Structure 1
Amino acid sequence: MVGVVLILISLIDIYLIVLYPRSGKGWLSTAISKGTWRLFQRIARLGAAIQRSERFGAAILSFCGPTLLILVVSAWTVLLIVGFACVYWTELGMEIQASEGLTPISFSTALYYSGYVFTTLGVGDLVPRSDWVRIVTVIEAGLGFAIFTLTITYLMAIYSALSQRNILALMLHHRTMGKANAAELVARMGAAGDFNDARDDVAKIAESLLTLLESHHAYPVVHYFRFENDLYSLARIVWLAMDTVTLINTALHPDRYRAFIRSTVVAGLANGGQHLLMELSYTFLPQRSFKMAGEDDFILRQRYLQAIERLRQEDIETVPDVEAGVQEYIKMRRRWEPYVMAIAHYMGYRWNQVAPSESKIVRETGWTIAPPLI
């Protein structure tokens, strides 16, 4: 019975993670992922304190994702091998016999037999004598082959999803001239006051966000791939996308650019980004992460005024009532900003790494950003 339970735990987890990929559904792998991330966080904090370097802690966290893959696949394999070994153990010396001499009846012998069968290396010096043991042996060999194949496919899908995420990060990085500033992105979309070609850019970003959402939804382990370079931060990707759509809705002249502001591509970017944040927050972040505080109104006001100035430099008409625009901008930021800050904090990023353009305002004014209360 112990063996059957172990086999079922492994097979159900594989089914939910690989064949029915939906975030947070896996029993075993979800627990391993969260536990391993917490362990890496503690090690990173300790390492950063000893070395007096945040980069050292970030380097430690960057190894969590690949380590998780090894641990999850190893857990599946070990549970199946041990589970079948428990089934074979009681049959050693009776239904399973040595081809020569006496049959050892220790659990290590059952483990040896199960491991050989699972890796499809053959039975060798232990031979099944009854029909039901032969059937179980064939089933285990088939599962071993199938799981090795599924594992390779799973790993390829994960690294493909990571590649897509990194491409989006690089696209946003280069389109903002390396400034990680949504105002720069919007200004270049509508250079000389012309947003006619901007729809394709916004549509591409919106589509990439939905791809990012589905990849994180389908492969939860992708959450825990945290790269050392800030520009690949998931929080920065989402922050840039959401701040871009917020500026489009609050900073552009509502009459001159009505067709663009009310277009389906802008709506898709806004709703897709919000959907991504909600999914990540409720399936990935601990419950305590929802006690959050955003940036101060003063910082957001300065941020908006700087964006207005940058847009005007490109001859883009902005809202006639700047004060009303400021209030609407702050209101929209409050809907999504705390979630981005919580994701950044949980993944070990400081806010100035995610939003360097806003951190510049803090340095210039001496204002203090309130961190998320986690």
Structure 2
Amino acid sequence: MDWLITAAGAGIVLFAVRDMFHTIWHPSGQGTLSRLVILMVWRGSQLLKRRAHQSSVMGPVALLSVILTWGVTIVAGWTLVYWPHMAEGFSFSSSLDPAQRSDFLDSLYLSLVTVATLGYGDIVPQEPWLRLTSPLQALIGFALLTAAVSWVLQIYPALARRRTLAIRLALLQRAGAARLLPATDSSSSATLLQSLAGDLTQIRVDLTQYAETYYFRETDAVASLPAQLPFARELARAGRESAQEELRLAGTVLAEAVQDYAHLLAQQFPLAGDSTDDVLRNYAADHGYAEP
């Protein structure tokens, strides 16, 4: 029975480590536990009836919740690894009162201290396999810290690219770009549409690898891609209706980029719709913005 508990603890630790890897370093970013925690935070904010423009902290809160969940899961798993062997597998400092000790609490304390790489030395493993596994936990604790920092450093540049595209689209909409597009030089107009298609393709890659970026809301509609993306479709439509072949091609490329992005949204997130326009409308509504 003792070894079953230890094996269960090791399984929990491996599950948490696997989730960290798939969330941060896997190209598709498909961590099961992290996605569940983020979705719970997102749905919780909706149950509290917080509109997107009233609450822009759900993304950071979701990240923090996932990191804490990883930490708690790792600590709990190693607690189960140590617990059945605490009495005979460890030596205790003479300053510890035997009457006030508890195997489970001692295991939890040792797990917390080890994952934080503090190493007080008041509880020391004696059995050979424990002397090997305890430093392994410290290494995993360091990996958790590294993972948290790496995650933040990877996500925020992706969010910056998304905001930049949204602001570009907002400025083009103010300038009446859809109306003026056919009248401008076809080469410059085509270059503009191709540039927008390239930016949207990069954001699609970002969303594939960092699906959690979906749950970051913007307080300003100008910087919100869900609010501004329908205008990219309008620009693509204007380009495709042009009499100039180069501009029609660029409009088609942008239209395909928008459609591909909408297809990804419909696949990975609960955004049902019979058409690209429906998906984009639901995308904006899910972030608290009415259709532009």
Whether TM exceeds 0.5 here: the answer is yes
Q: How does 1:49-88 map to 2 (within 5 A)?
A: 57-88=51-82
Using structure 1 for the length normalisation, give the TM-score: 0.71
What residue is the counterpart of 2:3 in the other structure?
A: none
Look up the match of 1:358. Answer: none
1:94 aligned partner, one-letter code: E
* Counterpart selection for 2:92 from 74, 98, 112: 98
**In structure 2, C-alpha distance between the alignment counterparts of 1:44 and 1:112, rounded to whole Å:** 39
Find out whether 1:280 has 2:260 as its counterpart. Answer: no
User: How many Å separate the matches in 1 of 2:179 and 2:11?
Assistant: 59
The answer to whether the aligner puts 1:195 opposite 2:189 as a matched pair is no
Alignment of 1:117-156 (within 5 A): 117-156=114-153
Q: Is the CA contact (8 Å cut-off) linking 1:41 and 1:61 kept in structure 2?
A: no
Residues 1-374 of structure 1 correspond to what in structure 2 (within 5 A)?
1-22=7-28, 25-44=30-49, 57-100=51-94, 101=96, 104-177=101-174, 184-191=176-183, 193-250=184-241, 252=242, 254=243, 257-262=244-249, 265-285=250-270, 289-290=272-273, 335-351=275-291, 355=292
Paired residues of 2:169 and 2:229 also in contact (CA < 8 A): no
Q: What amino acid sits opposite 1:28 in the alignment? A: L
Cα distance in structure 1, aligned partners of 2:27 and 2:16: 15
Letter in 2 for 1:67: V
Deviation at 1:346, TM superposition (A): 2.0
What's the offset of the Cα at 1:285?
Answer: 1.8
| Shift of residue 269, structure 1, vs aligned partner | 1.5
Displacement after TM superposition at 1:340 (Å): 0.5
Shift of 1:106: 3.1
CA contact (8 A) 1:18 1:154 kept: yes
The alignment's TM-score, normalised by the length of structure 2, stands at 0.90
Q: Determine helix, strand or coil for the equivalent of 1:97.
A: strand
Tell me the amino acid that sits aligned with residue 74 of structure 2.
Answer: L
The one-letter amino acid of 2:45's match is F
Q: SS state of the match for residue 22, structure 1?
A: coil
Query: What is the distance in 2 between the residues matched to 1:110 and 1:188?
Result: 70
Structure 1 unpaired stretches of 5+: 46-56, 293-334, 356-374
Q: Which amino acid aligns with 1:32?
A: V
> What are the superposed Cα offsets for residues 163-216 of structure 1, whole Å, 9 maximum, x if unpaired?
111111111222333x7xxxx22344455x422212221222111101110111
- Let me know the Cα RMSD of the aligned residues: 1.9
Secondary structure at 2:22 match in 1 = helix
Shift of 1:105: 3.2
Q: Once the 2 structures are TM-superposed, how far is the Cα of residue 267 of structure 1 from its aligned partner?
A: 3.4
- The C-alpha deviation readout for 1:59-100, integer Å capped at 9, x for no partner, is 444221111000001101110011001111112121112122
Instruction: Flag the 1:186–1:60 CA change in 2: closer, same or farther, 3 A.
Output: closer
Structure with the greater alpha carbon radius of gyration = 1
| Structure 1 segments (4+ residues) deviating >4 Å | 188-191
- Once residues 34 and 251 of structure 2 are traced to their aligned partners in structure 1, the CA distance between those partners, rounded to angstroms, is 37
Q: CA deviation at 1:347?
A: 2.1
2:4 corresponds in structure 1 to none
Structure 1 counterpart of 2:39, one-letter code? K
Change (3 A) 1:60 1:107: farther
Change over 3 Å in CA distance of 1:109–1:58 after alignment to 2:
same
Tell me: CA distance 1:176–1:167, structure 2 relative to 1, closer, same or farther (3 Å): same
Secondary structure of the equivalent of 1:153?
helix
What is the CA–CA distance in structure 2 between the aligned matches of 1:276 and 1:116, rounded to whole Å? 45
C-alpha offsets along residues 131-174 of structure 1, whole Å, 9 cap, x if unaligned?
A: 11111111111111122112101111111111111111111222
Task: Give CA deviations for 1:254-287 in whole Å, capped at 9, x if unaligned.
Answer: 3xx123213xx4333122111111001110125x
